[in-house]
Chain A
Amino acid sequence: MIEFQNVTKQFPDGTFAVKDFSLVLPSHKVTVFVGSSGAGKTTLLRMINRMVNPTSGKVLIDGEDVAGLNPVALRRKIGYVLQATGLLPHRKIADNIASVPRLNGVPKSKAREEALILLDTVGLDRSLADRYPDQLSGGQQQRVGVARALASDPNILLMDEPFGAVDPIVRLELQDELNRLQGEISKTMVFVTHNIDEAFAIADQVVILRAGGEIAQVGSPAEILANPADDFVETFIGADKGKRTLHLQRREEDGVTLIVDAEGRPAGILGEDKG
């Protein structure tokens, strides 16, 4: 479990990236931060692995304040997929994936063997293992970024717009793969996107952010669709409703009737007219 307690981050130039932010991110669940550019999503993510230290407030992992942990050890225990892939240009794909295990002293041949298995896991061909990052497409590189984050089998995965650089079709594929993968590995995942459809597609818990890291609404996709907290959330989730082909689907677990789009993603909830 990750917990933010009244976290504020003010950068030296005076910008408040995050202001008095409190939230619990449950273990083995996917929490998605969604919000417009500059809302403070990356800053929130990087306060978990101490790439950014809060100005005030605490970030706790399983009850332990990260401020007291060694940053290098902490980062090796947390998988991190960077917004811009962040692959090392001078190392082959397999070596990139094996980075953290190698730093932890795993023998070269074993680390490579595991890297090849991870290539399978993220749906890449093993023949890519000996290429360099710039010999891969943007989407392939992002998958390698995910493989690298998984390599040391971390309990926590931070993913900063991991599918930002790919076309919508591949993006949907990657989202499905991520859902399949999460079914197998069940990590505590923190995922950042500014695409609300992506958030609904993969989240257990969606956190909609306004500027300054202010929470507009927290809840499951169904809860947010059923009861948007305010106009801001409504606009945010309804922005491209018009393009959707919708149908109804009854959900077994709670008997809610969902409105589902062509890709099978919830787009709304069927309610009685109260007027």
Chain B
Amino acid sequence: MSWLVDNFDLVARLTGNHAILSVIPIVLGFVIAVPLGWIANRSHSLRSWVIGGGSFLYTIPSLPLFVILPYILGTRITDERNIIVALTIYAVAMMVRTAADALAAVPADAVEASTSIGYSLWTRFWLVEFPLAGPVLLAGLRVVSASTIALVSVGAIIGSANLGYLFTNGKQRDFLEEILIGIGASFLIALVFDIAIVLLGRVLMPWNLRKSPASKSIRQNAVGVY
């Protein structure tokens, strides 16, 4: 533990940077994947393009992507924007299918009813489809959050100052405590993010708190996706 005490500033700085590098792709990925999911539900062919594209992107290994992106984006290889873009791509790839499924599972009755009393396409999306897809979207977001936080570490190999540095450095020096502290801090970030997402869900979707059969079945669907 004396190592942690001596290097607390370093660990805190790496943790902070790790959290920032994670939160941006998580948020961007969600914001991009939800409209894509909506588009995927417009027609069969759109669906296969969007979902297929998502699966394809997800098969690209992360390290080569970190190395290729500078050529595409015109950034320096050590630029952390490469990591953010790469992880956003993964977040979209992971989230888009969930988003499409979540929006497709919105009860047709509610969509139909809101249209017939005068919701426009836009208001219907924001006031009916998006909130009713909320529980499943949130479940997907939790998975994306955990996986993004884990993936950020890989960036340390190309020089990003995040908790991954503690893994590579600890490995080089054959120093287990440093590695364990890296894992612990990374786990802490994941836990804090997860709790934040769950709390956000409770605040934004109060109807879902009640133990009614309807909300239970939505939760079961959310679990069923994974």
A residues adjacent to B (C-beta < 8 A): 46, 49, 51, 72-77, 80, 82, 84-92, 99-100, 103, 132, 134-135, 148-149
Contact = CB atoms under 8 A, between A and B. Distances in A.
Interface string B99-114: 0000000010110111
Nearest to A104: B118
A86 B110 contact: yes
Given A80-B117, A103-B119, A91 B207 contact: yes
A90 B116 contact: no
Contact of A90 (B115, B123, B131): B131
Most chain B beta-carbon contacts within 10 A, residue among A46, A85, A91: A91
A92 B118 CA distance: 18
B132 A90 contact: yes
B113 A132 contact: no
B114 A88 contact: yes
B116 A51 contact: yes
B43 interface: no
A76 B117 contact: yes
Nearest to A82: B113
B117 A75 contact: yes
Contacts of A46: 116
Contacts of A89: 107, 110, 132, 207, 214
Contacts of A75: 115-118
A84 B118 contact: no
Contacts of B132: 89-90
Nearest to A84: B109
Interface residues of chain B: helix, strand, loop or mixed (majority): helix
Contacts, number: 65
B128 interface: yes
Interface residues of B, number: 23
B10 interface: no
Given A86-B109, A89-B132, A134-B212, A103 B207 contact: no
A90 B118 contact: no
B116 A82 contact: yes
Contacts of B123: 103
B116 A100 contact: no
Interface string B194-226: 000000000001011010111000000000000
Nearest to A51: B116
A100 B118 contact: yes
20 contacts: A51-B116, A72-B118, A75-B116, A76-B118, A84-B109, A86-B112, A86-B113, A86-B116, A87-B113, A88-B110, A88-B113, A89-B207, A90-B208, A99-B117, A99-B119, A103-B123, A132-B210, A134-B213, A134-B214, A135-B212
Contacts of B128: 88
A146 to B, nearest CB: 13
B120 interface: yes
Given A80-B116, A91-B207, A132 B212 contact: yes
Contacts of A76: 117-118
Contacts of A88: 110, 113-114, 128
A132 B213 CA distance: 13
Given A82-B113, A99-B117, 10 more contacts: A75-B117, A82-B112, A82-B116, A84-B109, A86-B109, A90-B132, A90-B205, A91-B207, A100-B118, A103-B123
Most chain B beta-carbon contacts within 10 A, residue among A73, A89, A135: A89
Contacts of A134: 212-214
A52 to B, nearest CB: 10
